[in-house]
A and B are shown apart, each in its own frame.
Chain A
Amino acid sequence: MAEKKKTNIILFSGDYDKTMAAYIIANGAAAYDHDVTIFHTFWGLNALRKDEKLQPKKSFMEKMFGKMMPRGANNMPLSKMQFLGMGPKMIKGVMKKHNAMPLPDLIDMAKEQEITLLACTMTMDLLGLKKEELLDDIEYGGVAAYIAEGEDGAINLFI
C-alpha cells in the first residue's frame, strides 16, 4: 500500500469558530486516510485545556493568564459577533438545529480517528499552561516536530 498522505494543521487561533474549522478539516482528512496532526500553539492551546479548575503551582503572571484564557474548547469565544458571550450561545443553538457537531465532540471524534493532537511546549511556557491542565493522551513538541511532518505534508494549514 502506498504511504499515507499527511495533513498538518497549525492551530494558532483560540476562537471557537476557527477551531471548529480546523477540527472539521482534520476529521475530514482522517476520513481520507491521511495521517493528521494538529499543532496547537499560542491561543490554540486553549482548545486542549480541561474544563475543570486545576491549581498547579504557578507564578503570579501565569495565574493571571490562566484566569483570562478560556478553559477548554467549549468556553472559547467567537472570532466575530462575540456580543459579550451571547454570540457563542446563539451559534451553539443554531448548530444544534442544523445537527452540526459541537466542538468538544469534534475533538473527541479526532481522538477516535487517531489524529495526533500536539501542544507546543514553548508557548505553553509563555502562557503558563501545565501538562496537567491539558487533555490526556496528547503529544508535546516544538517547531521541529511540525517541520518534520510538514515537509512531506499534502496539506499544510495555518489557522
Chain B
Amino acid sequence: MNITKTLDAKGLACPMPIVKTKKAIEGIESGQILEVVATDAGAKSDLTAWCKSSGHELVNINDDQGVFTFYIKKG
C-alpha cells in the first residue's frame, strides 16, 4: 500500500483524532492513502463512522495492543 501521508494522533482524546484526520485528509488527493495512528479507545468506531459519512474508504485497521492504525483512502 502506498501511503501518502501519516498522521500521528497518539495520546489525543476525543474529538481531536477526528478533527486532525479531517484536516490531514484535506491535504491529499482523491485516491491517495492517509495513515492515522491513534490510541483513543473510541477512535475505532469514531473513524469508521466518520469515513462512512464523509465518503472516504477505510481500507484497513490494525489493532496493536491499543494502538490503532487506520488506512483511509480519500474519496
The chain A residues found within 8 Å of chain B, CB to CB, are 24, 27-28, 30-33, 98-101, 109, 113
B19 touches A31 (CB 8 A): yes
The chain B residues found within 8 Å of chain A, CB to CB, are 11-16, 18-19, 21-22, 50, 53-54
Enumerate chain A residues within 8 angstroms of B54, measured Cβ to Cβ.
32-33
Given contacts A31-B50, A33-B54, contact A24 B15 (CB under 8 A): yes
Q: How far is the CA of A57 from the CA of B16 in the complex (A)?
A: 40
Q: How far is the CA of A32 from the CA of B54 in the complex (A)?
A: 7
Q: How far is the CA of A56 from the CA of B13 in the complex (A)?
A: 39
Interface of B is mostly: helix
- Of the candidates A98, A99, A109, which one forms a contact with B19 in the assembled complex, judged by CB atoms under 8 Å apart? A109
A24 touches B12 (CB 8 A): no
Enumerate chain A residues within 8 angstroms of B50, measured Cβ to Cβ.
31-32
What are 10 pairs between A and B in contact, CB < 8 Å? A24-B14, A24-B15, A27-B19, A28-B14, A31-B21, A32-B22, A98-B13, A100-B13, A100-B14, A101-B16
Q: How far is the CA of A99 from the CA of B43 in the complex (A)?
A: 14
Closest B residue to A33 using CB positions: B54
